[in-house]
Amino acid sequence: MKQMRFAVGIAALLLAAVLLPFAPAIGYAARPIAQTGPGARIGTWELTSVADWEAGELSGLLVTNNAGGELRMDAGRASGTFVSAPFQTSFAANAVGALWNAEIISGTTLLFEVRGRSDDPADDAGWGPWQPLPAGGAGVADDDETRTTVDVVELPADSRYLQVRVGFTSGIDRASAILNSATISYLATAQSTPIAVTGLPRRPIFFGPTTRTPRPAVVPRADWSGRTAAAQPGRANPRGIVLHQIDAAPAVTTTLDILRAELAFQTEVLGWDDLAYHYLISDDGTVFEGRLGGPTSVVDRFAIGGPAVHIALILPRDDEPSAQAQAVLVNLLAWLGEAFDIAPTGEYRVVRGGDLRPSIVGHDTVSPVAPDPYPPLESLIPTLREQADESMIRSRWYFAEGNVADYSQRLSFYNPTDQQAAARVTLVRPGGLRRWLRLCRCRRRPAPI
């Protein structure tokens, strides 16, 4: 006798998800949170006067004094570069962000870059690489004229000297962007005793209705930032999901430093009510709770087209997410899809204009001036949509022999012969047996001659 056992997984049937009323919209304005956890030291370096611009190296640029000191391209030039004199910070910094005021007409561009070093800049050999400071399209609270980076740039934790480079380009004859001022904010958020993210507690996401799809486990906000006082954001059920990318490559012992720098820069420098990202994912596959209040907390600075869940991957711009990061991202997308009735492969109609937008998009789709996500991650989005849709558990069936702890089920078949046998299992929904039998009879009818 020969016994064969076939493991039968849980069958997923397409059922309409029922989303219980959750977190109705609130009409009052957002109020910033208070700093209650590990503090961040923030310093500033301003470039705004004629003396500031002339102290640096100029190539193809002019310094004017129409409003206290400005930079623009020289007549007849299509490009130009400004490299600042080295600036000594007041303390060792591990991250930097930027704000600038400029007049940028169509056909002209400005590109900001920064680099740092720990020792006296007697020569050029000790500088780190130039890193771009791209404008993110969200801006300073109550000041839509000032352009800013949305995310910080990671520096070595002992950086005490900074240098800025600004590139001007123009595709129009005798036209130039005009740079009026720039402010570099440098931050120190590194802890004296580094903490590896692998040792932090993880808990299932607290917010949202009951779901069949497993809730992702996240590192709670209080465990990585210490901030527990919530903002008072507007509330609305999200209609889509936006993927962002923070261009950084922190080690497992410096990931928390970057997270705290992001939080401090967005709230204390840009003046936003809270961190803009609901969840952040490091490349080792750790998911961090970001914005307080859960997925229904509206991010006003990114609310173009309607409320959405904002997820940021911490990943160098030229890298594809690791297998671990992709796996937890797919689980998060699938859970959000079931919890808030967001079809991963579907579309929704945006609030302004009425255009259809895919349920899961990159930041650059929502805000065309945003640089992220960068090509390796951007190219994965169609695959992530499909994988999230396949990972949503829409129903569960139970059999006589099974384990409700991990939802594994087993059917056993007995084969009394010595010959190899094949078995086919057809799962029929309750009430569907008669229809299935009719289909079987129809298939067995001989074809007409």
Same-domain check for residues 353 and 438 = no
Contact between 402 and 410 (Cβ < 8 Å): yes
When pLDDT is cut at 50, 70 and 90, the band that residue 86 belongs to is very high
The residue segments making up the domain with residue 156 are: 41-188
The single residue listed with the structure tokens 């998911």 is 287
Same-domain check for residues 98 and 175 = yes
Same-domain check for residues 416 and 370 = no
* The pLDDT of residue 67: 86
- Give 434's contacts (C-beta < 8 A, 6+ positions apart): none
Between 303 and 259, residue with greater pLDDT: 259
Same-domain check for residues 142 and 220 = no
Number of domains in the chain: 3
When pLDDT is cut at 50, 70 and 90, the band that residue 200 belongs to is confident
370 is a domain residue:
yes
Identify the domain boundary among 160, 188, 216: 188
Residue 104 burial (C-beta neighbours within 10 Å; 0-12, 13-18, 19+): middle
The pLDDT of 311-317, averaged and rounded, is: 96
Same-domain check for residues 104 and 231 = no
The CATH number for 276's domain is 3.40.80.10
Instruction: Report strand pairing: 240-246 vs 308-314.
Output: parallel
| Residue-wise pLDDT tens digits, 350-401 | 877 678 999 999 999 988 888 999 999 999 999 999 999 999 988 766 665 6
DSSP 77-138: -SEEEEEPPPEEEEEEEEEEEEEEEEE--TTEEEEEEEEEESS--SSSTT----EE----S-
Identify the domain boundary among 150, 166, 188: 188
The pLDDT of 115-122, averaged and rounded, is: 92
When pLDDT is cut at 50, 70 and 90, the band that residue 9 belongs to is very low
Same-domain check for residues 105 and 208 = no
DSSP 131-183: EE----S--BTTBSSSEE-SS-EEEEEEEEEEEEEEEEEESSTT---EEEEEE
Identify the domain boundary among 359, 376, 391: 391
Same-domain check for residues 208 and 182 = no
The CATH number for 183's domain is 2.60.120.1020
